[in-house]
Structure 1
Amino acid sequence: MARVLALLGSINVGSNRIKMAALKEALAASGFRDVETVAASGNVILTDERDPAMIEIQLESVVAQNFGFKSCAMVRTADEVRRAIDENPFHGTGPEHGSDKMVHSIFLSQQPDKARVDALIEEHRGKGSERLALGDRVLFLDYVHGVGVSSLSNKLLERRIGCKGTARNMTSLKRILEKMD
């Protein structure tokens, strides 16, 4: 059986508060096996052999039915999580790389059109210090001075590139990957 990571968006953001024990219990009651949460931001490791798209639909349904709000779910394998770390051009050591807390991989619901991402990068040029790059169903983003001072909100990014996404910083992804391995 395959262990996968489910990244749930909008968890413990704003009024969307969920205790991880309650999330774990709701997922187990819905038939998910070996459910383990990592941190309090909607990172769930579980065992499931189904198509990732089917898992995502069920996860979104469980959150809506049990907690009363809409969340997006992105399911990834350990290899995909590893690539989201290793292929992030802003992650690493040296002065050209950002700090692990500021460098994010935004997991996307689909591969966005490259032209839309290029337009977003061009539109943002000169407006802020953030850096963006596109990967395989992931948008790499170095917030440089912090998420809170950036104009690149999740809503703006989703609107510009035409797909949903949920972000995790390198610190979180490394911790998640350790638990998956």
Structure 2
Amino acid sequence: MARYLALLGSINVGGNRIKMADLKTTLEGAGFRDVVTVAASGNVIFTDDRDPAMLEIRLESLVEQKFGFKSCAMVRSADEVKAAIDENPFHGMGPQHGSDKMVHSIFLSQQPDKASVDALIAEHASKGSERLALGDRVLFLDYVHGVGLSDLSNKVLERRLKVKGTARNMNSLKNILSKMR
């Protein structure tokens, strides 16, 4: 049995409200084990022996059936969550970069085309102070001055990279990882 994190997108934003207790009950009823929710933004830790790609499909289906809206689900192991922290080139870089609240790892549904990422980085270099880098099914983004001041919204990133994604900042990821162990 493996311990996983499900990062559910579009939870408790834009009118898509779910009580974490209801989400936990739904997942337990569907056979997920040792379910723990972290914060109210769609972070669910659980134990399972199924393939992560199949778990993503199942989670997306459960959210739509039970709560009535589409959500993307990214399922990652503790090692993958740790890598999303450790491999983020903007994490812990000091005052010239954003704080742990501003540095994000955006978990992606699949690896985007490198040319699309390179084009986005090149185009944005003259537009804002944010910094971007690509990892393994994760986009690292330093919002520097805040998410709300950036034109690099999740919708823009998904449209440009042609993949689904859901972001978590370093503070959230460290908290989640501590609960996965």
TM-score, normalised to structure 2, is 0.98
Match of 1:140 in 2: 140
Take 2:177 and 2:89, find their aligned partners in 1: how far apart are those partners?
18
Take 2:52 and 2:96, find their aligned partners in 1: how far apart are those partners?
35
Take 1:128 and 1:18, find their aligned partners in 2: how far apart are those partners?
34
Q: Write out per-residue CA displacement over residues 50-102 of structure 1, whole angstroms, 9 at most, x where no aligned residue.
A: 11010000000110011000000000000000000000000014234320000
User: What code does the residue aligned with 2:142 have?
Assistant: D
User: What code does the residue aligned with 2:39 have?
Assistant: A
**How far did 1:125 drift?**
1.5
Percentage identity across paired residues of the two chains? 81
SS of the residue aligned with 1:99?
Answer: coil
Q: Write out per-residue CA displacement over residues 128-162 of structure 1, whole angstroms, 9 at most, x where no aligned residue.
A: 11110000100000011111111001011011111
Take 2:28 and 2:78, find their aligned partners in 1: how far apart are those partners?
21
Match of 1:122 in 2: 122
Matching of residue 36 in structure 1 with residue 36 in structure 2: yes
TM-score, normalised to structure 1, is 0.98
Take 1:143 and 1:97, find their aligned partners in 2: how far apart are those partners?
8
Take 1:143 and 1:85, find their aligned partners in 2: how far apart are those partners?
15
Match of 2:22 in 1: 22
Q: Write out per-residue CA displacement over residues 23-62 of structure 1, whole angstroms, 9 at most, x where no aligned residue.
A: 0011111111111000000000000111101000000011
SS of the residue aligned with 1:145?
Answer: coil
Match of 2:151 in 1: 151
Written as runs of structure 1 = structure 2, the 5 A alignment for 1:1-181 is 1-181=1-181
Take 2:68 and 2:60, find their aligned partners in 1: how far apart are those partners?
11
CA contact 2:105–2:139 (8 Å) conserved in 1: yes
Take 2:50 and 2:145, find their aligned partners in 1: how far apart are those partners?
40
Aligned length: 181
Take 1:117 and 1:93, find their aligned partners in 2: how far apart are those partners?
22
CA contact 1:90–1:96 (8 Å) conserved in 2: no
User: What code does the residue aligned with 1:176 have?
Assistant: I
5+ residue gaps, structure 2: none
5+ residue gaps, structure 1: none
SS of the residue aligned with 1:175?
Answer: helix
